[in-house]
Amino acid sequence: MTDDSRNHYLVFGATGFQGGAVARLLLEQGHTVRGFSRNPAEEGRGVEGLAMVHGDLADAGAVRRAFEGITHAALVMPLVYDTETVLAYARNIADAAKDAGVERLVYNVNTPLPEATTPYASFETRRAVEAVLRESGLPLVVVRPPVYLDNLFSPWTGPALVNEGVLAYPLPAGQKVAWLSHADLAAAVVAALGNDGLEGRTLDIGGAEVVTGPELAEAFAEALGREVTYLPLHAEDFEAGLGQVLGAETAQGVAGIYRWAATGQDPQLFAADPQTTTRELGIRLTPLAEWIAAQPWQHWAKAGD
């Protein structure tokens, strides 16, 4: 492990769910942490007690200022899928991190990456960022998580699950997935920031269990004490619903992941071996039943039910 007493951490996307979970865990461990957000209006969505800086990733000066005094950084890219824009972001981050003398940068790709090139910007922009960071010579660790459990505790999944016993998600029923919680993602990223022997590595990480859609529904049924059925959504329907929340362009980018999954060409893409994650990072992964039991599902219950 590194000597944490002199480390200063920068967390990108600290007002989001993933970056916020990383920043929160670092703060809980007593570290000096700075969050970066592109939007000052999101200040209230950040982590309590977290020092924030704001700026556009396209602004090289703003990114450099964010890295001043930083020794370690955790990066997740925003939901932007224009290739040239994303490449500009990546170059600014790489240049600023190198000039600051960053000792380790952990890049959360936010998705596994198929070995072959795909038509989908959701994969290819993230692959391009990884290439920029590697070519920069930064001391880099890359983590590639699968699908997040926390996606299921959401306005587009929670109500149907709680009120109708329908677990709807845009993955084929037979797709094996090592569903990962945001909390376990944070533990993985923090471990990757500090553990020795990881520099230069790419780690496909995942949660405690690898399950199909029906097996996931069964875990929910046991935890909630009611019948739950898995419903594989069409990627088009998922994209349309997501577009109402995030906008059409972002929804199209995100949906590319699920369009690729629907082809059936990569059945093991989301099935990272839990033992590899625990062995390489030394963290405890949360069992499905434990995570489900810990969520306040009554939040989505219909009034009067």
Segments making up each domain of the chain, as ranges: 4-145+181-206+271-283
pLDDT at position 286 over 70: yes
What is the band of 3 on the pLDDT scale with cuts at 50, 70, 90?
low
Mean pLDDT of all residues in 61-79:
97
Whole-structure pTM value: 0.94
Residue 166's CB: how many other CB atoms inside 10 A? 16
pLDDT at position 47 over 90: no
Residue 183's CB: how many other CB atoms inside 10 A? 16
In this prediction, residue 305 carries a pLDDT of: 45
Rounded to 5, what percent of the chain is helix, strand, coil?
45, 15, 40
Shortest CA distance to 185 belongs to which of 146, 224, 140? 146
Report pLDDT digits (tens) over 123-144. Answer: 999 999 999 999 999 999 999 9
pLDDT at position 67 over 60: yes
Treating both helix axes as pointing N-terminal to C-terminal, what angle do 235-246 and 248-262 enclose, rounded to 10 degrees? 160
Treating both helix axes as pointing N-terminal to C-terminal, what angle do 274-281 and 182-194 enclose, rounded to 10 degrees? 40
Residues 149, 220: contact at Cβ < 8 Å? Answer: no
To which CATH superfamily is domain 4-145+181-206+271-283 assigned? NAD(P)-binding Rossmann-like Domain (3.40.50.720)
Calculate the average pLDDT of the chain: 94
List Cβ neighbours of 181 (8 Å cut-off, separation of 6 or more): 148, 149, 150, 207, 286, 291
